[in-house]
Amino acid sequence: MIYNIVIYFVLWGIAIASLFNEKVRKMWRGEREAFRILKQKVDPNAKYIWFHAASLGEFEQGRPLMERIRKDYPQYKILLTFYSPSGYEVRKNYEGADIICYMPVDTRLNAIRFLRLVRPVMAFFIKYEFWSNFLHILKHRNIPTYSVSSIFREDQVFFKWYGRNYAGVLKCFTRFFVQNEESKRLLEGIGITAVDVVGDTRFDRVLQIKEAAKQLPICEAFRTGVASSQSADVPHHDFKVFVAGSSWPPDENIFIPFFNEHKDWRLLIAPHVIAEEHLKLILSLIKGKKVVRYTQTTPEEAAEADVLIIDCFGLLSSMYNYGDVAYIGGGFGVGIHNTLEAAVWNMPVIFGPNNKKFQEAQGLLKSGGGFEINTYEDFSGLMSSLMNDETFLKQAGDKAGAFVAHLAGATDKVLASVKL
C-alpha cells in the first residue's frame, strides 16, 4: 500500500517536472507512448523474452545475454525496455532487440496492461531493478524472472529491520545471478537461496567491445608519428601514450601538469564533458605542447602533435587500444567511470580515491593491474615508476588484462541455469 502511494507521487512528480526539464519530458512522453508501441509491434504469435535495463550501463551488462539468446535461440523475440532517457535515446535503434520502448511507471494497472500485451515467456531485470508491481504480477503468472549482474550491500534497505516488508519483492525472482559471495550471503540471510554467484556480464561485454574495436587512423598516426598516407620512408616512432578517459577537471589538474614536464610521452584525453567551456579549460592547462582536436585534425597533423583531445562521443573504448597507461576519471567526484574498457587492453589503470563501491576497481587494485592515487605527488611517483621501469609497466598491464579475462564467462553461467 505505502509503495503504491509513493509510486503515484512519483508519477505526479514526473508529470510536473516534465513541464520544466527536457530529459524528464522525454521520459514522461516515452512511458505514455510505450503502450502504443507495444500495440503496434507485438506479434501475438511470438514468444517474447523481456529484458529491462534502467539506463545505458545496465543495458551494456544485459547485452551479452541478449545477443547470445538472439543467436542461439532464434525462436524467441526480444523486448527491451528502459527507465531512463539516457539509455533509451542512445539505444532506441539497437538491432539486437525486436521491440524497444520505455518501461511504464510501476503502477499495478500499468503492470497488468503491459504484461497482457506482451505475455513474455521469461524476464530479465539487470542489476538494480526491483519494481514491486511488475515483479509480483510476473510471479503470480508463473513467468520465470531473473535478476542478472545484481550486487547487494549490507546498507541497502532490504537488509534493515524497517525494510523487511519491501524485501518481499526479492522473493518474486525465480533466481538471482549475483556478482559476488557477499551478495549471496546477504540474500541467504533473509531467506533467499535461489542464488548463483556468476560474476559480472560486463567482463564478457568488454571482451566483445575489444573484438569489435574501431580502427582510428588519427589515433594510429598520433601513436606512431606517421600517417598511413605518408611515405614508408617516414620513420615510425611508436611513442608512449598516456590515455585519460572520462576525465573531469580535478583529474586534469593532476595529470596535465605532470605531462607538461615530461615531453617524451604523448597525451590522449577523452574528457567526460565535451562542452566548449570544458575543452577551453583543458587547453589552458596545457603548456608548451602542440595540441589537436579529433574532429578538427587529420592523421598527418596528429602525427606531429603532443596532445590529442577527443571532442566527440563513441570512440572511448576503441581509443584505449592506442595507449600504454590509462587513467579513468571521476575518482575525485561522484565515482570512477568504466575501468574495464581500459584494462581489457592489457594496460595499467590509474584512478582517484572514490572507487570503494566499484567491485571491478577493487579487483584491479588487488590484482596489481590497478592503482589508486590521491594527490599529484602520488601520481608523479607512480608514473615515474611506470615510465622508467619497462618490466613494471608490462607486468602491471598484463595483470590488468588477466584480471578481465579470468572473470569473463558470466553469460555462459547464466544461460546454463536458464531453461530456454
Q: Which residues are CB-contacts of 300 (< 8 A; sequence separation ≥ 6)?
A: 221, 227, 229, 230
CATH topology of domain 2-208+408-417: Rossmann fold (3.40.50)
Q: What is the pLDDT of residues 119-142, one digit of tens each?
A: 999 999 998 888 899 999 999 999
Residue 31, classed as helix, strand or coil, is helix
Mean pLDDT for the chain overall: 92
Question: What is the spatial distance between Cα 68 and Cα 207, in angstroms, rounded to a whole number?
Answer: 14
Fold agreement (2-208+408-417, 214-406)? yes
Distance between CA atoms of 340 and 344, rounded to whole angstroms?
Answer: 6
Position 263 pLDDT exceeds 90: no
Rounded CA-CA distance 183/143 in Å is: 24
pLDDT higher than 90, residue 173: yes
Domains of the chain: which residue ranges? 2-208+408-417, 214-406
Whether the per-residue pLDDT at 231 is higher than 60: the answer is: no
Residue 237 has pLDDT above 80, yes or no: no
Q: Is the pLDDT of residue 236 over 80?
A: no
Q: Which of 64 and 25 is assigned the larger pLDDT? A: 64
Q: What is the pLDDT of residues 72-113, one digit of tens each?
A: 999 999 999 998 887 888 899 999 999 999 999 888 999 999
Cα separation, 235 vs 366, whole angstroms = 40
**Which whole-number Å values give the CA distances from 319 to 157, 167, 203, 215, 240, in the listed order?**
39, 42, 18, 9, 14
Secondary structure (3-state) at 85: helix
Q: What percent of the chain has pLDDT over 90?
A: 77
User: What fold, for 214-406?
Assistant: Rossmann fold (3.40.50)
pLDDT grade for 8, boundaries at 50, 70 and 90: low
What single string gives the DSSP state of each residue in 162-184? GGTTGGGGGGG-SEEEESSHHHH
What pLDDT score does 163 carry?
81
Contact criterion met (CB below 8 Å) for 100 and 91: yes
Res 9: pLDDT: 72
Does the pLDDT value for residue 19 go beyond 80?
no
Q: List, edge to edge, every strand of the sheet that includes 175-178.
A: 99-102, 76-82, 47-53, 122-126, 145-150, 175-178, 195-197
